[in-house]
């Protein structure tokens, strides 16, 4: 190696400029373009993350009698979507399996809505893992029929109880994850979209995840696959309906405090559902950290998630993040099993 380099004659910068002026100019132009593009992109990401507001929810019928449909609304992020969309003036249909939690939510929304901002709410209990249950889907369709639906939030989701290798995972769990996170989203979107097309107005929010949307996730492979589907589905559908007054986005998120994440305390990187949903609803259609990262339809609205997503894309060394995620998941699994063992001993 040393001999190769010692025999190659590199021109000095002086020789390069004087003897190859066109080549020098070209190299400067490429370098300048790359630096300018990076600076512009960083500036736009920062502006979208910290300064600019997204599309107004009024464009989708907020305060004008339109409805928002929110799945997985019995707790966590979905519950917060329902509360904040109602606060913005949407009537709300909420769905999940836990009928009593939905009933409490409906009362809460109705109790809070007073005077000029009075909104209606109704609960439609559903088990989205039961795609073949014609009765429940028929009930949902008839509850939605005739409503002016301005917003659909496909939020209901299932993940693993703790990270596990695919070969050791329960087949039923894997199939439920796909049915809830993918098939039910397709079914419900297919029910709601025709009305939006007819009214030339609508917003569809699909809840994605860093697992699958930003980085492959060993030991959550099926879950990551479903979230990857959602980002590709959202990008494709978004382009299809762009001229019809309908926006579709896949919200990319890192951890949020919830039962699913099993994280109870918020931090700069892990928001509460309230802070997280506030950022989603204030940044509609702005890609934020996902700007110009070749993932059309994907948005990363929460500030620290946006910066993380952006930095990961700038660094670009995806395999390093995959390896880090793998070791993180091994550790989470170890701790989850130890906890289960302790609990078993106490019984
Ligand atoms: N929290 C995070 O760190 C995080 C990170 C990335 C992505 N996400 C995504 O964000 C979304 C919301 O998650 P979350 O953190 O708010 O979780 P969560 O608190 O566990 O809430 C999940 C919701 O989905 C509903 N659900 C689960 N299985 C269902 C089924 N078979 N049929 C109908 N509804 C069902 C649950 O209601 P019932 O139990 O009453 O049915 C619940 O309302 C999910 O799509 C998740 O993948 C979350």
| Tens-digit pLDDT profile for residues 203-240 | 999 999 999 888 999 999 999 999 999 999 999 999 99
Distance, CA 260 to ligand 1 centroid (Å)?
Answer: 6
Question: What is the atom index within ligand 1 of the atom nearest the CA of 71?
Answer: 34
First to last CA, the chain: 66
Domain assignment present for 15:
no
Which residues lie closer than 8 Å to 76 by C-beta, 6 or more apart? Answer: 256, 258, 259, 260, 273
Distance CA 208, CA 217 (A): 13
32 within some domain = no
Q: What is the pLDDT of residue 10?
A: 62
**26 falls within a domain:** no
Does any domain span residue 20?
A: no
Domain that holds residue 246: 55-337
Which pLDDT value is given to residue 4? 52
Q: Which pLDDT does position 112 carry in this prediction?
A: 87
Structural domain contains residue 19: no
Torsion over CA of 218, 220, 226 and 232, rounded to 10 degrees? -30
At 74, which CATH number?
Answer: 3.40.50.720
Q: Is there a domain that residue 344 lies in? A: no
Structural domain tally of the chain?
A: 1
pLDDT, position 7 = 60
Short-list 283, 329, 333, CA closest to 305: 283
Residue 31 lies in a domain: no
What is the pLDDT, as a whole number, of residue 265? 96
| 16 belongs to a structural domain | no
Active-site residue, from 60, 160, 223, 310: 223
81 lines ligand 1 (CB under 6 A): no
Average pLDDT over residues 268-274: 98
Active site residue 223: yes
């Amino acid at each position: 190696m040393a001999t190769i380099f010692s025999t190659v004659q590199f021109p000095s910068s002086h020789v390069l400029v004087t003897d190859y002026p066109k080549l020098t100019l070209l190299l400067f132009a490429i370098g300048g373009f790359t630096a300018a593009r990076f600076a512009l992109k960083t500036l736009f990401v920062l502006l979208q993350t910290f300064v600019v507001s997204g599309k107004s929810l009024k464009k989708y019928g907020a305060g004008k009698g339109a409805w928002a449909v929110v799945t997985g609304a019995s707790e966590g992020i979905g519950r917060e979507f329902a509360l904040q969309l109602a606060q913005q003036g949407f009537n709300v249909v909420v769905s999940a399996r836990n009928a009593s939690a939905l009933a409490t939510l409906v009362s809460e929304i109705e109790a809070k809505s007073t005077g000029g901002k009075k909104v209606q709410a109704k609960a439609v209990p559903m088990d989205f893992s039961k795609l073949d249950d014609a009765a429940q889907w028929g009930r949902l369709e008839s509850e939605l029929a005739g409503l002016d639906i301005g917003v659909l939030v496909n939020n209901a989701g299932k993940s693993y109880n703790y990270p596990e290798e695919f070969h050791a995972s329960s087949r039923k769990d894997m199939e439920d994850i796909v049915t809830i996170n993918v098939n039910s989203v397709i079914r419900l979107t297919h029910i709601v979209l025709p009305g939006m097309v007819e009214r030339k107005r609508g917003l569809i929010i699909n809840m994605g995840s860093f697992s699958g949307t930003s980085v492959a996730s060993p030991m959550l492979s099926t879950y990551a696959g479903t979230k990857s589907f959602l980002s590709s589905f959202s990008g494709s559908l978004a382009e299809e309906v762009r001229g019809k007054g309908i926006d579709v986005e896949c919200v990319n998120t890192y951890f949020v405090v919830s039962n699913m994440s099993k994280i109870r305390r918020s931090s700069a990187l892990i928001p509460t559902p309230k802070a997280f949903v506030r950022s989603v609803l204030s940044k509609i259609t702005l890609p934020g950290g996902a700007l110009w990262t070749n993932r059309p339809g994907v948005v990363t609205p929460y500030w620290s998630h946006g910066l993380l997503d952006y930095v990961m894309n700038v660094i670009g060394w995806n395999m390093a993040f995959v390896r880090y995620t793998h070791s993180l998941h091994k550790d989470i699994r170890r701790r989850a099993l130890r906890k289960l063992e302790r609990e078993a001993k106490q019984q």
